[in-house]
Each structure stands twice: as structure tokens, then as C-alpha cells.
Chains A and B, each alone.
Chain A
């Protein structure tokens, strides 16, 4: 059994690196990534699980890091946009498709798309793509460009 009280040091596996961080059990994964590890790609947008700007990948699935405690991530594999190293097909696809304007929601969308491809190596039907991407909000684009980016991601590999 695990019991964490006060401030504790936990081990997190983030972007292929092992990190030890001192956290309060009530600290959110989002805050720990941003404020302690300096991984600020994941953004606070609503802190309520509604906008998806803080989406990261946990064991290959998308997770909104504002609705997860950092202590829950122990023993799991966390991936953020920084861990994509600029080489994930979705990153180039987003550039080529003009799939962002202000860029604030971009990291979250990138991680959802990357997780989509991780779970569905072949392009799924449009309704599956929609279902996954409906977890995120973009206020600048009309979403058409983001759809195009998902297609480019699948076509590029």
C-alpha cells in the first residue's frame, strides 16, 4: 500500500526520462509538469477537463493532465509535446495544414492526434477521428485545418 502525506518525493517517467519530484499529494500532474519540470507545452485552459489544452499521453492514451494527480502518474509512462522532439508526423502535419493560429490549444490537439495514431496505426473512420478530437477546443480555426492535419499525419507514414 502507498501512503503519501505532506510533501513527498515521487518518481515520474516523462518523455523517456526518469524524474524525481517533490510534490504534495493534491498537486495536479499539469502543475507538476509545468512548474517543476518546466514542460510548459501542456497548457492550463479551463482546469475542468473541458478544453483539452492540457492533454498529455499516458501509457499511449490521451489524458487531461488537469484532472489527474501527479501521484497517480507514478509507474506510468507520460509523454508531452516536448517528448515528440519535433519529429512526430503530426507536428509536420500541423505545420503543413495550418492547423493553428494562436497556438494555445495546439499541444493538446497534437497529443490527442498522436494518441489516436498510437491506438489506430491505420487511419480510422472520420467519426472515430471526430470522437477523439471532440475532447479538445480550438477557438481560432474552424477545425477544418485540424482535420486536414490528421489526414496528412496518416498519409505521411
Chain B
């Protein structure tokens, strides 16, 4: 039960959606874009947000695309994690989507919602960062398509009123060798202690992480450390851990020390598997 009411809009176009947002904003009224709704509904229920309006963007055609076009895979922002998995078009993304929340929730949680979520893990960002994905955004100032990494720094850096329309993934990434591992405290359905996604590009590993710090990231410095073929696994892992962009995240799921222990184990496992041709 959500104790308060809001206005519900279901626009049919990007333009309509942005117009609604601008109009409300000019009246000083808070609106949120709404797709799968899981997080927004929860936050409304518990009282951490109280929007005046929700703008359901699931009826906007561009946001629902899921297809190969022009050497790129387009994934609309309102595609559910389950739709992305079931399409089987992007194997690494499929692995990541399969480990976010649970299967039934994967039928509701959307790509856009996961990228923009307030929960810090945003694990769909990992495959996209590794694949040099581009992202198309739409807002009151119109549409723009930019590399994801230019607007995803810790979390989505959107302008007011901007929404995600879709992401585009170059085809090389769809068939690249890849690796995904998520470690949780105990239960499989849980936030990650450590999530690692890796993809092989030009015989080098690219790596992105969630859970180990307070935001998801790809680190080229850590990649360099881990790609040093001449050094032992142990040395590479140690160096990579020293290059974490911030102190290790800690909460009740896992202390910082323990997360780091799990992180190092996971990286070592990854390097071994890489070495053994298991990736």
C-alpha cells in the first residue's frame, strides 16, 4: 500500500514524456520516470520518496526495442531483464541479468531501472561498460547518443528530465569470450559481495566490478595489472586490489576485510580459468 496518491501518465512518445516532465517541473512538482516500478513502488511505500507524478514510459516504442540493427544490438530501456536473457543475444548480459534479484522480479525489473536505481550495485552496467556500449538519452533538450562511460560514472549522470531510451552494443561484444561471477554472503538471491564481469577484447581481459566498492566501475588500471602475463596470479591480484578506486565497501552483508578476501579469491579464480582456457 502506498499511503499517498500520485498522477499517473503513460505517454506514447518520447516527446510527450519529456513534455510532461517539463510541465510538472515548471510547476515545481516532482515527477519520476517509471518503468518496472519495483524500486519506485518500494520507496513510495516506505516513504523515502513522494513524487507528485509518475511517468510510465513502457508504452514508448523506442524504449521497448530489442534487436540487432546496423552492427549493433539495441536494447530499449524498458526491456525487462528477463526479456534480455530470453533473447539470448548478449551472453554476458544474460549472465548478469540472471543474477539480479530473482526470476520473477527479472520479469519486471528493466534495464533502465537497474542502471538508474538507487541500490548501489547496478550490475547491468558491467557488461555495457566492458562492451563500449553507447547510450541514447532523451530529455527536454532533445536526444543525444553518447558512450555510456561518459554518462555512467558511479551512477547515471542524467540531466534533469532526461531518460534512457536505449543502449547500443557493438556486435563484437556479443560473441566475445566472457566471464561472469557473483559472490554473495550465503544466499544466491542477494546483493553481491563481489560481482565481476570480464570480456576478452584483442586478447586482453577487460574487467568491471560491483559490490567491492560503493559503485560499479570498470578500471583500465586494474585491467593492466591483471593482464601482466609475466607475473604470477598472486602478484597480479595483489596489485589489482591495490588499485581499487576507493576503500572496500562494507556493510552487514560483508565486512570490508571479508569482501576483499572474496574479491581476491574471485580474481585468482578468474585468472586461473583464463589461463586454462575456460573463458
Q: Do chains A and B touch in the complex (CB under 8 A)?
A: yes
Residues of chain A with a CB closer than 8 A to B56's CB: 72
User: In the complex, A67 Cα to B40 Cα: how many Å?
Assistant: 9
Residues of chain A with a CB closer than 8 A to B108's CB: 63-64, 67-68
Q: Do residues A47 and B5 form an inter-chain contact, with CB atoms below 8 A? A: no
Q: Is A71 an interface residue (CB 8 A)?
A: yes
Q: Which of B10-18, B150-158, B203-211 contacts A (4 or more CB under 8 A)?
A: B10-18
Query: Chain B's nearest CB lies how many Å from the CB of A109?
Result: 11
User: In the complex, A6 Cα to B102 Cα: how many Å?
Assistant: 33
Q: Do residues A26 and B9 form an inter-chain contact, with CB atoms below 8 A? A: no
Instruction: Name the residue on A nearest B82 (C-beta).
Output: A61
Q: Do residues A31 and B105 form an inter-chain contact, with CB atoms below 8 A? A: no
Q: Is B146 an interface residue (CB 8 A)?
A: no
Q: Is B103 an interface residue (CB 8 A)?
A: yes
- In the complex, chain B residues 92-116 whose Cβ is within 8 Å of any chain A Cβ: 98, 101-105, 107-108
User: In the complex, A61 Cα to B104 Cα: how many Å?
Assistant: 8
Q: A1-B12, A3-B9, A49-B42 are in contact. Are A27 and B2 (CB under 8 A)?
A: yes
Contact of B37 among A5, A24, A68, A136 (CB under 8 A): A68
User: In the complex, A5 Cα to B24 Cα: how many Å?
Assistant: 14
User: In the complex, A47 Cα to B41 Cα: how many Å?
Assistant: 9
Q: Which of A12-20, A87-95, A127-135, A149-157 contacts B (4 or more CB under 8 A)?
A: A127-135
Instruction: Name the residue on A nearest B8 (C-beta).
Output: A25
Residues of chain A with a CB closer than 8 A to B2's CB: 26-28
Q: Do residues A3 and B16 form an inter-chain contact, with CB atoms below 8 A? A: no
Q: Is B252 an interface residue (CB 8 A)?
A: no
Among B6, B44, B82: residue with most chain A CB under 10 A:
B6
Q: Do residues A135 and B1 form an inter-chain contact, with CB atoms below 8 A? A: no
Q: Do residues B101 and A4 form an inter-chain contact, with CB atoms below 8 A? A: no
Tally of A-B residue pairs with Cβ under 8 A? 91
Query: Chain A's nearest CB lies how many Å from the CB of B217?
Result: 27
Q: Is A41 an interface residue (CB 8 A)?
A: no
User: In the complex, A63 Cα to B12 Cα: how many Å?
Assistant: 24
Query: Chain A's nearest CB lies how many Å from the CB of B30?
Result: 14
User: In the complex, A132 Cα to B85 Cα: how many Å?
Assistant: 13
- In the complex, chain B residues 49-91 whose Cβ is within 8 Å of any chain A Cβ: 54, 56, 58-59, 82
Q: Is B266 an interface residue (CB 8 A)?
A: no
Q: Is A85 an interface residue (CB 8 A)?
A: no
Q: A49-B105, A62-B104, A64-B108 are in contact. Are A131 and B5 (CB under 8 A)?
A: no
Residues of chain A with a CB closer than 8 A to B58's CB: 72
Query: Chain B's nearest CB lies how many Å from the CB of A134?
Result: 5
Query: Chain B's nearest CB lies how many Å from the CB of A125?
Result: 14
Among A62, A67, A135: residue with most chain B CB under 10 A:
A67
Q: Is B188 an interface residue (CB 8 A)?
A: yes
Q: Do residues B8 and A67 form an inter-chain contact, with CB atoms below 8 A? A: no
Q: Do residues A67 and B37 form an inter-chain contact, with CB atoms below 8 A? A: yes
Digit string of A43-81 for contact with B (CB within 8 Å is 1, else 0)? 000011100100100000111101111011000000000
Q: Do residues A24 and B5 form an inter-chain contact, with CB atoms below 8 A? A: yes
Q: Do residues B105 and A1 form an inter-chain contact, with CB atoms below 8 A? A: no
Query: Chain B's nearest CB lies how many Å from the CB of A155?
Result: 23
Q: Do residues B38 and A25 form an inter-chain contact, with CB atoms below 8 A? A: no
Query: Chain B's nearest CB lies how many Å from the CB of A105?
Result: 13
Given contacts A2-B10, A48-B45, 9 further A-B contacts (CB under 8 A): A1-B10, A1-B12, A25-B5, A26-B5, A26-B6, A28-B1, A69-B8, A131-B98, A134-B189
Residues in chain A within 8 A of chain B (CB atoms): 1-6, 24-28, 31, 47-49, 52, 55, 61-64, 66-69, 71-72, 112, 131-132, 134-136
A-B contact pairs, 29 of them (CB 8 A): A1-B16, A2-B9, A3-B8, A3-B10, A25-B6, A26-B5, A26-B6, A27-B2, A28-B2, A31-B1, A47-B45, A49-B42, A61-B82, A61-B107, A62-B103, A64-B104, A64-B108, A67-B37, A67-B105, A67-B108, A68-B37, A68-B41, A72-B37, A72-B56, A112-B104, A132-B103, A132-B104, A134-B103, A135-B105
